[in-house]
Structure formats: C-alpha cells, structure tokens
Amino acid sequence: MHRNRRFIIGGLIIVAALAYIIYGGMREAIVYFVTPSELKATEAASVDKFLRMGGMVVNGSLQKDVKNLTYRFELTDGTASFPVFFRGVPPDLFTEGKGAVVEGRIGPDGVFQATTIMAKHAEEYSPHADGKDGYPKSFVPGKESAQQ
Amino acid sequence: MTATLGHTSIFVALLFALWGVVSPILAYRSNSERYFAFTRIAILAQFALVTLAAASLIYGLVTTDFSIRYVAFNTTRATPVYYRVTGLWGALEGSLLLWEWILIIFSGLVAWIYWGRQRETIPWVLMVFSIVSAFFLGVIAFVSNPFETISPVPADGRGLNPLLEDANMMTHPPLLYTGFVGLTVPYAFAMAALIRGKVDEAWIVPPRRWTIIAWFFLTAGNLVGAWWSYHVLGWGGYWAWDPVENAAFMPWLPATAFLHSVQVQERRRMLKVWNLSLIIIAFSLTIFGTFLTRSGILSSIHAFSSGPVGGVFLVFLSFVLLSSFGLLAFRADLLKGQPELNSMVSRESAFLLNNIVLVSALFTIFLGTIFPLLSEAIAGTQVSVGAPYFNSVTVPLFLLLVFLMGVGPMIAWRRASWDNLKRNFLWPAAASLLAGVGLFIWKVRDFLPLLAFTLLAFVVLTIFYDTALALRARHRNAGEGVIRGLVTLARRNQRRYGGLVVHLGVVLVILGIAGSMTYSIEREATMNLKEHLNVGPYLIQFEGLKGSQQPTHFRVEGSFRVFHEGDTWGVLSPALKFFPNQQSPVGRAVHRSTIGEDIYLILSGFSELDKNQATLKVLVRPLVVWIWVGGFVIALGTLLAILPLGKTSPETA
C-alpha cells in the first residue's frame, strides 16, 4: 500500500507538470480564427489578441511599396471588410481577388497589423488549359504579373 | 489491359488475405496442421499478386498509359522516367498501393525467416498481417482504386506537382512508409502472443529487432523530409509542426520508448503490459497518421485530397484499438505478477522515466494536432495551434530526455550504489559543467540554449568516459590498443555500442536543432543593383538578374555576392521557377553550409528583368548542418546494432 501511494503521488506530480506546460503552451500559442465581419463586430474586445483572419483580398485595395516591403490591403468575407497592414514578403500566391489568411493583432489605429500572410493554395494542383504562357518579365510578390 | 491486370490482382489478393485470416481459426478448431500451412500460402500468394499489381501500375506510369486515370494525373510525356516511377507515391491511390506492397513484403520476410523456427506462433502472426493487408486491399479495390480508367484518353497527362520532382521525394515517402509499415511486425507478434496466451519473454525477441529496423526507417524518413523541406521548399526551415509532419513523427515516440523499455522487460521481467501497449499505440498511430493525411480534415501541404478514405481509416483505427486493448484486458491475468522497482536510482527507473517523457511528448503533440478538430467539434470555434505551442511544450521534455540519455546507459541496474554513480558520472558531470561555464563566458547567455548545450556535452562525455574506461580495461587485460579495443568492444556488445553511437547521432541532431532555433538571424530587403545588405557577419551585394528558358520552366535567377568578414565567398544565385502549368512561381532557395552556420538566400521577387531590382530574404542559421551529419551517425549506429557482424554476447544492455 505504501508503495502504491508513492506511485500515485509520483503520477500526480507528472500529470500536474504536464498539464502546466500544456496550459502554458496553449495560452501563448493558440490562435483564434475570425472572419472580417466577426472581427468588426468584436473589434473593441479583440484588441491585443493574437488572431488569424481569413478572407479575400478586395480588388483595388492593395497598395504596396516594394522598396520598403510594406503592404496595405483590405480583406473581405463578402459582408464586411477589414484593413490590413503588413511589412515583409508575402507568399507567391498572395494577390488581389484571391483568398488569404493573415495573422497578427489589431493596432491602435484600428488596422490589423499582420505578422504573417498565408495565401490559400488551390486544393489540387491544376495546370492551365492553354499550355505555355509567356515568360515572366517581372515578378513582384503579391502581384501575378508573371503570367500574362 | 494493364489496368485490368492490376485491378484483378488486387481482388484475387483480397480473397487470399481473407483466406489467410480464416485458416488459422479453422486450424485451431479442427486441430489440423494443414490449415496452418495455408496461412503461409495466403501470404506468399498475396506477395506475388500485390507485386504484380504494383508492377502493373509502374508499367502504366513508365509507358505513360493515359487510359489509367492515375497515370494521366501524375505523369506527362515530358516527365523523366525516374519521376514517372516515383509517381507511384505522388498521390493517394498509388501511395496506398505502395503501403500495401511494403506491408506484404514485410509479411513475406517474416513468413520466410520464422516459419521453421516458430511454428506455433507464426500462423497467428501471419493472420494479423492478413487482417491488415485485407483492410488495405479492400480500400484499394473498392474505395481508392489506382487502376480506374478514364475515357476519352487524354493526349497528355497533368504531371506531378513540380515541388515533388526532386531527388528527396524519391526517397522520403518510401522511407517513411517502410518505417510505418515496419511497425506492423512487432504489432503482429504482440497480437499473436496475446491470442495464444504465451506472453512469456520469448515473444519479445523478434519485435525488438524489427522495431529497430522500423525505427531506423522512421528516423531516416523524417530526417529526409526535414532535409527536403530545408533544401527544396525554400522557406529556410526544416520542421513546421505541420499536422502531417506530426503524424509522421508521433509513431517514432512510442517506438523509441519501446526500444528502451523492452530492455527492462528482458532484464527484469517488468513492464509487460506497458510494452504491449506501446506496440499497439505505435501501430495505431501509423493508421491514425494515414487517416489524418488522407481525410482532408486538416489543411496541410501534405494532404492530397478529401474523400471517403478518411472515414474508412477511422473505422479501421477503432477496430484496431478496441480489439487490441480488448485482447490485452482479456489476457490481463497472464501478465500479472512482475518484480517491483528496487530503487529510484537505477537503470530501470531511468528507462521508465525516459518512457514517461516520450509518452508525455506524444500526448502533448497529439493534443496540439487534434486540438483544432476538438475545438471546432465541441465549442464551434475555429482555432489553430501553431509551432510556438509545440516548441514550448516539447523543449523541456526533450531536454529532460537528453539528460536521461546521459544517465540511462551508464547507471547500474536494480540499485545504483554511490560508488557506481561517482565512477560513471563524476568526471563527465564536472567536465560538462565546466563546458557550460566556458560557453557562458564565450557568448551563450540565454538559459535554454546554455542548458541544452551543457546537457549535450554531458551525454557525449559520459559515452566517451565509459568507453575510455572499457578501453583501459581491454588494454590491461588483453594488451589491446585503442582501435583493436574498440573493435573488440563493439563486436562483443553490438547492441550497446550501436545504441551509444545512435545516441551520439541524436546529440548532433539536437545540437543542430537547438542552434538553429535559438540563434537564427532573418533579414528581408529590396535591393537595387550593386546595393549592399549587412546580415550578421555577412555582407551581401546584389549583382543582377538573369532569365533563362529551361526545358520545363522559365527561370529567373538573382546573383548575390556574399562576403564573410571581408572575404568573398563567391556568388549565390537563388531563383524563381515559372512553370507553364502552375499559377505561381516555385522558389529555389540556395544556401552555403559551414560547420558553424548556414547562410540561406531566398529570392522573393523582382522588378522588370532589365531594371535589376530584387527582393531578397536572408537567413543565417547556426549549426544546421549537424542535423544531417547526426542522421548519418544514427544510421551507422543502427547498422552496428543490428548487422550480424560477429558473436554478440548474451550480456545485453
């Protein structure tokens, strides 16, 4: 009995330690997924929360400064749109009219400050129907001028 | 024609698999040896038929028989022959066939090796193989058929995803599948032992050996995957805690745990139920991994597509878990009565702790992987669990594991005396503390990396110190020099020294991970011609863009001259590849490795070709190269542990 009790205590300590590191890890790393309209509705409560927002890049909203690597655009889910600011290099598939997921926080100016942009990949790899395209004259991330 | 042959083979093989499941039961009920012999015939017939089916599909791929839908979707006329062959695992249907093929090769090997030696057990082992094989054959025959035909026959195929056209993709999936499927062998032996009710120590010998083999392939598969990610995917990392990476890594943890705890069972007849559970869990995780990858319930670059396959795997997974643990509970009486732990300071307790840590790591990774599913199912909120979670929970666990890696192999069984502890650990501990202080004075000021490097030094020093003591003994007793002594030691106790070499390899892998996790530098900039960028000790100068038409794509290359502390290191040329049938370019990152660090260049974009303005991402990642070196050392150690090099002593550690 004495031996069993020792094992139970040891087990409890291990479980508690594990629960503690899992809780700590989750609290820091869990990211909630919101749509632009959900974020609009809960804007005040969402300040300072690390979030992931998915939507479509609004046509005509993308302003970029390639030299300084800054991007401003709006994401929409069809009902509402939310302004986003990003500094860095977005993924190759990121462009206007396409789906994108951004990660970050709402800044003091009410703009979503993205630290990461993830472009939504096509589900299956599908080639163009009409064969060869012209070679790319330029390729600026965020703009698919490559394929004419 | 090819399609019909392949599909028919699968159907006939399925019949043999079912026969292989039924015949040992008939043999048991009628007490007839004849039915037992059928189990082997069933396996050999499946082996022949599945090989025929796989050969048909490979033949279809190589001859670009576009009447087969799978071929049309995974090759083109322009695809080189070797990438046509690797099309076998380029998509879901083919990779299931590959899985089944490897499974049946393993079963055939087991039937061939053990038939004469373990006549009583083997029919049941083969029955378990036939159950698993019947499941996969059923899926291939009815749910996910690689031999489905297409009409009208297209003029040309679609081709593989260009990212998969890479030498590592030729090896990464088969290695990983071999590791996954290899875990079926210990599972089959464990189930056979439970079915027969013979759970003494004899059954554990084949599973131990086959787990080492499966473990080796799992390790190699994961490391080659990391290498591919680093060298081809071009994001500068090698591990993203992607759900599918986790699926590939999770079975490794109980397999590793088993390789350690099995020694406790051999030596002390303890942990019987625990060992059986580890084998069942490891096997179940391979099925779970396939479910996760193939169901499309999680988004991942690895996930092929969604479909009914996921559900079928989930049903099979439930069947495996219920029947295996049910059987374990049914035989619980036979597994009772084991010796107790003598002392907390002993090798068995070090191994027990190692197992607890490995299983805890498994649990935390499993939880993080399925948490988004749970959250959406229970609370209805979409969440994601990113790399920071996995890093923050696994780092302390793995550091503890590194410490145990130093203690476990050297501490005495049963009860370590104070003398034993002093003799084995005093000098290594003192020297590694000294190394830690040295690192602190030099430049490592952060707690976690400092702790990691100190513990790694401790492991290496315990291994070297122990080997040095053994060599001194050889010198005294037999007058052998260092080389002769090492050869004698390794030959006398292959498993122990193989294991220690594997530990050294693991130390190197962890060294690389710790270094690159903690001291990386990242910079991004848009550069004009001849402009400079300073990144750590490096200076990078942009020297221009160049475009060229390649056979399969158009390639745009940026030239960057790299200077390291004033010395020129030559020009690195990261590129973007524009495939005509892909919507966006595929990056080709380049890097240069030294033993200290890698410099890694990614071309992110460029302005008009003649205007010579490019956006560059630069990463400096310390010690990465040691991950790959560690992989080779692990391979060497595994070979030393399992190859029949000389007489192995019964004294095993």
Q: Which of B385, B525, B604 sits opposite A30 (nearest CB)?
A: B385
Q: Which of B383, B397, B554 sits opposite A32 (nearest CB)?
A: B383
Residues of B in Cβ contact (< 8 Å) with A14: 356, 360
> What pLDDT is recorded for position B249?
95
Q: Is residue B615 domain-resident?
A: yes
Q: Which residues of A touch B (CB under 8 A)?
A: 3, 14, 18, 21-22, 24-26, 28-33, 52, 66-69, 88-89, 92-93, 121-128, 131-133, 135-141, 144, 146-147
CB contact under 8 A, A30 and B363: no
Alpha-carbon gap: B606 to the closest alpha carbon of chain A (Å): 5
| Residue A23 contacts residue B368 (beta carbons within 8 Å) | no
Q: Is residue B653 domain-resident?
A: no
- The reply to whether B512 and B423 lie within a common domain is yes
The crossing angle, in degrees rounded to 10, of helices B494-518 and B387-407 is 140
CB contact under 8 A, A66 and B526: yes
Q: Is residue A134 domain-resident?
A: no
Please tell me if residue B596 touches chain A, with a CB cutoff of 8 Å.
no
Q: Is residue A89 domain-resident?
A: yes
Residue-range definition of the domain harbouring residue A26: 1-30
Closest CA to B604 of A81, A80, A142: A142
- The reply to whether A46 and A59 lie within a common domain is yes
> What pLDDT is recorded for position A6?
77
- Tell me which of B105, B140, B165 is where a domain ends: B165
Question: Would you place residue B568 in the very low, low, confident or very high pLDDT band (cuts 50, 70, 90)?
Answer: confident
Residue B587: pLDDT above 60?
A: yes
DSSP secondary structure letter of residue B625? H
- When the pLDDT of each residue in chain A is averaged and rounded to a whole number, the result is 76
Nearest CA in chain B to A140: B605
CB contact under 8 A, A29 and B386: yes
pLDDT tens digits, one per residue of B611-623: 788 889 999 999 9
CB contact under 8 A, A139 and B364: no
CB contact under 8 A, A69 and B390: no
Alpha-carbon gap: A109 to the closest alpha carbon of chain B (Å): 25
Q: Which of B392, B554, B611 sits opposite A25 (nearest CB)?
A: B392
CA distance B240 to B653: 35
Residues of A in Cβ contact (< 8 Å) with B356: 14
Q: Under 8 Å CB-to-CB from B7, ≥6 apart: which residues?
A: B53, B141, B145, B147
Name the region of B614 (left: φ>0; alpha: ψ -120 to 50; beta: rest).
beta
Q: Is residue B342 domain-resident?
A: no
Interface of B with A in 372-391 (CB under 8 A): 381-390
> What pLDDT is recorded for position A137?
60
CA distance B190 to B208: 11
- The reply to whether A74 and A97 lie within a common domain is yes
pLDDT tens digits, one per residue of B192-218: 999 988 887 788 889 999 999 999 999
pLDDT tens digits, one per residue of A103-138: 888 888 889 999 888 765 443 344 433 333 445 566
> What pLDDT is recorded for position B390?
92
The tokens of B412 are what?
A: 């005495």
Residue B81: pLDDT above 90?
A: no
Q: Under 8 Å CB-to-CB from B506, ≥6 apart: which residues?
A: B405, B630, B634
Interface of B with A in 531-560 (CB under 8 A): 547, 549, 554, 556
Q: Is residue A132 domain-resident?
A: no
> What pLDDT is recorded for position B28?
81
CA distance B261 to B258: 5
- The reply to whether A43 and A18 lie within a common domain is no
Residues of A in Cβ contact (< 8 Å) with B615: 66, 69, 89, 140-141
Question: Would you place residue B582 in the very low, low, confident or very high pLDDT band (cuts 50, 70, 90)?
Answer: low
> What pLDDT is recorded for position A134?
47
Mean pLDDT of B354-362: 94
Alpha-carbon gap: B405 to the closest alpha carbon of chain A (Å): 19
**Based on the structure, what is the number of domains in chain A?**
2
Residue of A13, A125, A132 to mutate, interface with B, max B Cβ within 10 Å: A125
- The reply to whether B362 and B277 lie within a common domain is yes
If you write DSSP's letter for every residue of B476-522 in order, what string do you get? HHH---HHHHHHHHHHHTHHHHHHHHHHHHHHHHHHHHHHHHHS-EE
> What pLDDT is recorded for position B652?
41
- The reply to whether A42 and A82 lie within a common domain is yes
Residue-range definition of the domain harbouring residue B197: 167-328+348-393
- The reply to whether A44 and A114 lie within a common domain is yes
Residue of B393, B399, B549 to mutate, interface with A, max A Cβ within 10 Å: B393
Residues of A in Cβ contact (< 8 Å) with B390: 25, 29
Q: Is residue A131 domain-resident?
A: no
- The reply to whether A1 and A62 lie within a common domain is no
Q: Is residue B309 domain-resident?
A: yes
- The reply to whether B511 and B562 lie within a common domain is no
Alpha-carbon gap: B57 to the closest alpha carbon of chain A (Å): 21
> What pLDDT is recorded for position B621?
92
Residues of A in Cβ contact (< 8 Å) with B301: 121
Question: Would you place residue B89 in the very low, low, confident or very high pLDDT band (cuts 50, 70, 90)?
Answer: confident
Residues of B in Cβ contact (< 8 Å) with A33: 381-384
Q: Is residue A104 domain-resident?
A: yes
Please tell me if residue B59 touches chain A, with a CB cutoff of 8 Å.
no
What is the CB-side half-sphere exposure of residue A11 using CA atoms within 13 A?
6
CA distance A95 to A82: 16
- The reply to whether B380 and B272 lie within a common domain is yes
- The reply to whether A23 and A96 lie within a common domain is no
- The reply to whether A40 and A96 lie within a common domain is yes
> What pLDDT is recorded for position B463?
95
> What pLDDT is recorded for position A146?
36
Q: Is residue A48 domain-resident?
A: yes
Looking at the DSSP assignment, which residues form a beta bridge with residue B575?
B557, B588
Q: Which of A53-57, B320-324, B565-569 holds the top average pLDDT?
A: B320-324
- The reply to whether B38 and B121 lie within a common domain is yes
Q: Which of A25, A33, A89 sits opposite B617 (nearest CB)?
A: A89
> What pLDDT is recorded for position B107?
96
- The reply to whether A22 and A60 lie within a common domain is no
Please tell me if residue B396 touches chain A, with a CB cutoff of 8 Å.
yes
> What pLDDT is recorded for position B301?
44
- The reply to whether B507 and B637 lie within a common domain is yes
> What pLDDT is recorded for position B304?
47
CB contact under 8 A, A132 and B356: no
Mean pLDDT of B141-161: 85
Q: Is residue A126 domain-resident?
A: no
CB contact under 8 A, B392 and A68: no
- When the pLDDT of each residue in chain B is averaged and rounded to a whole number, the result is 88
Nearest CA in chain A to B299: A123
Q: Is residue B114 domain-resident?
A: yes
Residue of A1, A22, A102 to mutate, interface with B, max B Cβ within 10 Å: A22
Residues of A in Cβ contact (< 8 Å) with B158: 125-127
Q: Is residue B601 domain-resident?
A: yes
Burial B409-433 (b: 16+ CB within 10 A, else e): bbbbbbbbeeeebeebbeebbebbe
Alpha-carbon gap: A50 to the closest alpha carbon of chain B (Å): 11
- The reply to whether B567 and B467 lie within a common domain is no
More confident position, B333 or B540: B540
- The reply to whether B231 and B141 lie within a common domain is no
Looking at the DSSP assignment, which residues form a beta bridge with residue A104?
A51, A114
Residue of A6, A18, A32, A64 to mutate, interface with B, max B Cβ within 10 Å: A18
Residues of B in Cβ contact (< 8 Å) with A131: 580
CB contact under 8 A, B385 and A127: no
- The reply to whether B124 and B238 lie within a common domain is no
Residue B649: pLDDT above 50?
A: no
Tokens 């060992």 — which residue? B275
Residue of A89, A116, A124 to mutate, interface with B, max B Cβ within 10 Å: A89
- The reply to whether A48 and A73 lie within a common domain is yes
Please tell me if residue B617 touches chain A, with a CB cutoff of 8 Å.
yes
Mean pLDDT of A7-29: 86
Question: Would you place residue B51 in the very low, low, confident or very high pLDDT band (cuts 50, 70, 90)?
Answer: very high
Mean pLDDT of B394-401: 94
> What pLDDT is recorded for position B135?
96
Instruction: Spell out the alpha helix ranges (H) of B562-624.
Output: none
pLDDT tens digits, one per residue of A21-41: 888 888 877 888 888 888 888
Residue B631: pLDDT above 60?
A: yes
Amino acid, res. A57: V
pTM attached to this predicted model: 0.89
Instruction: Spell out the alpha helix ranges (H) of B151-271.
Output: 167-182, 184-196, 205-228, 243-249, 252-268
Q: Is residue B335 domain-resident?
A: no
Which of A98-102, A125-129, B93-97 is predicted with the least confidence, judged by mean pLDDT?
A: A125-129
Residues of B in Cβ contact (< 8 Å) with A140: 605-607, 615
- The reply to whether A114 and A86 lie within a common domain is yes
Residues of A in Cβ contact (< 8 Å) with B555: none
Nearest CA in chain A to B90: A125
Share above pLDDT 70 across residues of chain B, in percent, rounded to a whole number: 95
Alpha-carbon gap: A36 to the closest alpha carbon of chain B (Å): 14
Q: Is residue B649 domain-resident?
A: no
- The reply to whether B51 and B185 lie within a common domain is no
Residues of A in Cβ contact (< 8 Å) with B386: 29, 31
Q: Which of A61-65, B232-236, B466-470 holds the top average pLDDT?
A: B466-470
- The reply to whether A24 and A52 lie within a common domain is no
Q: Is the ipTM of this complex over 0.90?
A: no
Which helix (H) or strand (E) covers residue B527, if one does? strand B521-528
**Based on the structure, what is the number of domains in chain B?**
4
More confident position, B414 or B45: B45
Q: Which of A28, A136, A138 sits opposite B392 (nearest CB)?
A: A28
Distances B432 to A28, B450, B458, B468, B471 between C-alpha atoms, Å: 33, 11, 5, 16, 21
| Residue B35 contacts residue B23 (beta carbons within 8 Å) | yes
Alpha-carbon gap: B481 to the closest alpha carbon of chain A (Å): 46
Mean pLDDT of B604-629: 86
- The reply to whether B529 and B479 lie within a common domain is no
Q: Is residue A147 domain-resident?
A: no
Residue B246: pLDDT above 70?
A: yes
CB contact under 8 A, A29 and B392: yes
> What pLDDT is recorded for position A141?
55
- The reply to whether B1 and B110 lie within a common domain is yes
